[in-house]
Amino acid sequence: MSDLIDTIRPLAKKTDSKILMVVLDGVGGLPLTPGGETELASARTPNLDALAAEAQLGLVELVGAGITPGSGPGHLSLFGYDPLKYVVGRGALSAVGIGVRLGAGDVAVRGNFATLGANRVIEDRRAGRPSNEKNAEVVSKLREAIPEIGGIRVEIYTESEHRFVVVFRSPGLDEAGQGLGANISDVDPQVTGVQPMLAVAQDTTSGLTAELVNTFVQRAEAALSDEPQVNGVLFRGYSDVPHFPSFANIYGLRAACIASYPMYRGLASLVGMDVVPVEGEEDALEGKVAALTENWAKYDFFYWHVKKTDSTGEDGDFAEKVHKIELFDELLPGLLALKPDVLCIVGDHSTPSKLKSHSWHPVPLLIRSDYGRKDLAARYTEEEAGRGSLGLRRGTDIMPLLMANALKLQKYGA
């Protein structure tokens, strides 16, 4: 079957209508006890409830049934790119998001600072979520300790809180045009109570990179041995330079990204969206509302991202995730005041506080436009979405639905 992108591209047409896609990261959840309510259902959300009453609802599987999406595949799916075809590692997304240019043959890696106990057993995969200032302090220490490995230049960058980025710069391409390979197993086991794993090359071109990663881990632990909490590193998401079809070329849209977190800015940049400056910290949604308002006349598609609905779920903090949902609801009237022709609210994956991780559960989808059939739902929750007229959808269905509701798609065939 051909890529849906190939079908949509010739049908896309320019109009004056505006589309706003709000991604509440990890918004899907689970009850803490059987028969209880999810975080969304527990939250007091009068503005979302009113919006749901005049919108269409459904559920979305970002990759496929039973498959837990990473943030990269989840977002690619939302933007209409089949995540099974268009693959990118977290390292490249984070690197591009903080403004790092990757060259041919380079490999970028996403890292977590971690807390290691006796015998290198992982006690906290996120090292207590250190401040950005503490992150920068530790990165500076690592830069001094590990400027290169075996003649390969190593660059280390702060991302946010416990996250950092390492770029291994290629020593050059071989006769086959190959540089450093990125097909390597994770160091991060994604659970606590065990030791970090050894990076293992999955093909012949990635052998050197696996050696670089394992040496980096050893040197980093030595350099951070005097740190009480941020004393280990975990790696996953290795990637070289990715290439995607242009979002503007596919949909004929002038698209803007309004996000604070580097990874999401990086992904938007890779598909060709303009990344709009946002004032304030990630938790300060007011800065994102201001950025949207200031740029409303310049674009016809906006990707507007909220992160903390995900990170509170990863921390297992049910009450705080509820609170973050309620904070978004309080600011929703500011988005509605701009009168988008099509408004979409969705998640890129579920992050139930009960699991403290991403999960395979479908995420709730809401679409409001003048041309949608109204479901008259009582609330924007997983349960209500499961009864909605949009049904259970693949993530790649969303952009065509938004384009259709914005009257931006021509008829297919005679």
- Torsions phi, psi for 350 (to 5 deg): -95, 145
Q: What percent of the chain has pLDDT over 90?
A: 79
Instruction: Take residue 81 and report the two structure tokens written for it.
Output: 């790119």
Residue 284 confidence class, pLDDT cut points 50, 70, 90:
confident
Residues 67 and 113 in one domain: no
Task: Work out the average pLDDT over 384-403.
Answer: 97
Confirm whether 413 is domain-assigned: no
Q: Pull the structure tokens for residue 68.
A: 């837990």
Q: Which residues contact 124 (CB under 8 A, 6 or more apart)?
A: 114, 115, 192, 229
**Any domain includes 414:** no
3-state class (DSSP) for residue 412 = coil
> Maximum distance among all alpha carbons in the chain?
71
Q: Give me the mean pLDDT over the 299-328 stretch.
A: 96
Summarize the confidence of residues 113-121 as an average pLDDT. Answer: 95
Q: At 384, which helix (H) or strand (E)? A: helix 382-386
d(Cα 391, Cα 60) in Å, to the nearest integer? 8
- Is the pLDDT score of 333 beyond 50? yes
Domain boundary residue among 239, 269, 300?
239
The rounded distance, in Å, linking the Cα atoms of 34 and 37 is 9
Q: What does the alpha-carbon distance between residue 117 and residue 298 come to, in Å, rounded to a whole number?
A: 52
In a domain, 146, yes or no: yes
Confidence of residue 261 (pLDDT cuts 50, 70, 90): confident
pLDDT at 98: 85
Of 18 and 178, more confident? 18
Structural domain harbouring 8: 4-88+245-405
* Average pLDDT of the segment spanning 365-381: 94
Q: Where does residue 290 fall: left (phi above 0), alpha (psi -120 to 50 degrees), or beta otherwise?
A: alpha
Residue 412 lies in a domain: no
Query: Pick from 200, 216, 239: which residue ends a domain?
Result: 239
Q: How confident is the model at residue 1 (pLDDT cuts 50, 70, 90)?
A: very low
Q: Are residues 254 and 366 in the same domain?
A: yes
Mean pLDDT of the chain: 93
Half-sphere exposure for 107 (CA within 13 Å, toward CB): 28
* Distance (Å) of CA 313 to CA 26, 113, 133, 237: 7, 19, 24, 21
Q: How confident is the model at residue 163 (pLDDT cuts 50, 70, 90)?
A: very high
Tell me how far apart the alpha carbons of residues 300 and 338 are, in angstroms, rounded to a whole number. 12
Q: Is residue 195 part of a domain?
A: yes
Look up the CATH number of the domain holding residue 195.
Answer: 3.30.70
Q: What is the pTM of this model?
A: 0.79
Residue range 196-235, pLDDT digits in tens:
999 999 998 899 999 999 999 999 999 999 999 999 999 9
Structure tokens at 54: 């005049």
Higher-confidence residue: 1 or 347? Answer: 347
Same structural domain, 190 and 308: no
What CATH number does residue 257 fall under?
A: 3.40.720.10
Residues 298 and 365 both lie in one domain: yes
Distance CA 198, CA 189 (A): 10
Cα–Cα distance for residue pair 315/357, rounded to 1 Å: 8
What is the band of 283 on the pLDDT scale with cuts at 50, 70, 90?
low
Same domain, 253 and 400: yes
Q: Is the same domain home to 283 and 261?
A: yes
User: What pLDDT, on the 0 to 100 scale, is given for residue 166?
Assistant: 95
Q: In this predicted structure, which of 174-183, 314-323, 360-369, 370-379 has the lowest mean pLDDT?
A: 174-183
Residue 388: CB partners within 8 Å, gap ≥ 6?
56, 57, 58, 59, 365, 375, 377
pLDDT (0 to 100) of residue 355: 97
Q: Quick check: 291 pLDDT over 80?
A: yes
| Over residues 80-98, mean pLDDT | 86
**Domains in the chain, number:** 2
**pLDDT over 80 (residue 79):** yes
* 265 and 367 share one domain: yes
Q: Given pLDDT bands bounded at 50, 70 and 90, which one contains residue 266?
A: confident
Q: Measured in whole angstroms, how far is the alpha carbon of residue 280 from the centre of its chain?
A: 19
The verdict on residue 410 lying in a domain is no
DSSP string, 218-252: HHHHHHTTT-SS--EEEEEEEE-------HHHHH-
The Cα–Cα gap between 309 and 318 comes to 10
What is the chain's alpha carbon radius of gyration, rounded to the nearest angstrom? 22
- Domain co-membership, 28 together with 137: no
- What separation, in Å, do the N-terminal and C-terminal C-alpha atoms of the chain show? 21
Residues 343 and 251 reside in one and the same domain: yes
* Tokens (6 digits) for 234: 């975990």
Residue 411 lies in a domain: no
Residue in the block written with tokens 């740029």: 295
Last residue of a domain, one of 239, 267, 295: 239
SS3 132: helix
Whether the per-residue pLDDT at 101 is higher than 50: the answer is: yes
Same domain, 269 and 202: no
Same domain, 148 and 272: no
State the pLDDT at residue 175.
53
Residue 350 lies in a domain: yes
344 and 312, same structural domain? yes
State residue 270's pLDDT score: 85
